[in-house]
Amino acid sequence: MDNFWIDFPLAALATWRISHLLVNEDGPWGFVPRLRARAAGSELGRVLDCFGCASLWVALPPALWVSRDLFGFVAAWFALSGAAFLLDRFSGEPLIVERIIENRGVTDDDVLRTETDATAGRTGNPEDGDQGHA
């Protein structure tokens, strides 16, 4: 219990991070969406769709780490899940980053306005009657 005040916040952050990864992110090499797709329709799939559910199960190992007895384990388990859930509520909407894919050989020239020869030489204000012709 001597390191509880260091271990518990670290465990809470780790619980939040792993739960957030499993429920809201793609993870490295797109691993997590593949896991969610394979688990769809199963109990594991339902856990991966719900942050509160995921945090409850993810909090089990860290609860063992921070607790010293059975009562402390149960209390730490629910407290870590609750802390992760609160962190998720306070973190706001997830940031979605999308890669911009450029089509090679396609230009935007057809959507840009071009000046015609008649208007290219204008320098004055048309409302003043000055057409700017040389």
82-124 pLDDT, tens digit per residue, is 999 999 999 877 667 777 776 666 565 555 566 665 555 555 5
CB 50 within 8 A of CB 58: no
Distance CA 27, CA 56 (A): 20
Rounded percentage of the chain residues whose pLDDT exceeds 70 = 72
Tokens of 71: 């009562």
The total of other beta-carbon atoms located within 10 Å of residue 125's CB is 10
Closest CA to 12 of 22, 2, 4: 4
Q: In one letter, which amino acid is 83?
A: A
Distance CA 109, CA 97 (A): 27
> pLDDT band at 1, cuts 50/70/90?
very low
With a cut of 90, say whether residue 15 has pLDDT above it: yes
With a cut of 60, say whether residue 13 has pLDDT above it: yes
CB 9 within 8 A of CB 76: no
